């Protein structure tokens, strides 16, 4: 019933606001299982943040926009599969699950104001899509322990020093006993400088978590 309602809503929305050429091509790529063929992101220097696609690429930007602002469920599902594939490859570098056992997917949270405006958290949608693609076999998801304690302005146009200032103490951890001693995979749609992920990692480390890596769809 839920899928039927979503399909009707999407059809009605697409009738009023037809998707553009890039969106249609992305959806065709998703159906063909070829979304992973988009231009790869350059590596980040941090060594624990793993972006997948290059945000400078027009298709990658459209993919993010479709997920972030249109809640395109077809592309969210396909992106989840791509992110799962990336995670499996990365964990292989840790010599398999034994050295990164029972990881928890933790989507970067939104402030209450942002969530009210948008109605959903795209990072959480991606984490849920990863979980679904995995068949709930190797991961769990935690959307409650890491919380956003203050609303921060959009970071993309700000200088690095201003980003760090805005993000200081913007996250907190609840239910520390739930994540203490656990391995964490942070999930987000886009990273620019990595400042948001670093602040989230800092408070999670202070809460007693073990290894932490981050997967984003683009950089």
Mean pLDDT of the chain: 88
Q: Higher-confidence residue: 12 or 181?
A: 181
Q: Which residue has the tokens 């398999």?
A: 96
Q: Is 42-53+81-218 CATH 2.60.120?
A: no
Q: Determine the pLDDT at residue 115.
A: 79
Of the listed ranges 37-46, 156-165, 183-192, the one predicted with least confidence: 156-165
Is residue 4 scored above 70 in pLDDT?
Answer: no
Q: Determine the pLDDT at residue 105.
A: 98
The 10s digit of each residue's pLDDT in 114-139 is 877 889 999 999 999 999 999 989 99
Q: Higher-confidence residue: 150 or 78?
A: 78
């Amino acid at each position: 019933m839920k899928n039927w309602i979503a399909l009707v809503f999407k059809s009605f929305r697409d009738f009023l606001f037809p998707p553009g050429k890039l969106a249609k091509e992305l959806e065709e790529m998703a159906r063909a299982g070829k979304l992973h063929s988009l231009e790869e992101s350059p590596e980040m220097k941090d060594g624990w943040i793993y972006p997948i696609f290059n945000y400078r690429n027009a298709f990658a930007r459209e993919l993010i926009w479709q997920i972030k602002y249109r809640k395109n469920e077809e592309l969210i599902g396909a992106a989840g599969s791509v992110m799962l594939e990336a995670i499996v490859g990365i964990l292989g570098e840790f010599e398999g699950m034994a050295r990164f056992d029972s990881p928890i997917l933790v989507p970067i949270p939104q402030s209450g104001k942002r969530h009210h405006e948008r109605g959903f958290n795209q990072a959480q949608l991606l984490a849920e899509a990863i979980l679904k693609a995995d068949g709930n076999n190797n991961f769990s998801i935690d959307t409650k322990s890491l919380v956003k304690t203050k609303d921060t302005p959009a970071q993309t146009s700000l200088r690095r020093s201003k980003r760090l200032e805005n993000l200081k103490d913007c996250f907190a951890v609840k239910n520390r006993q739930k994540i203490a001693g656990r391995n964490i995979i942070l999930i987000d749609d886009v990273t620019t400088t990595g400042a948001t992920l670093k602040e989230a990692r800092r408070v999670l480390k202070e809460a007693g978590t073990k290894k932490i890596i981050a997967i984003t769809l683009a950089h």
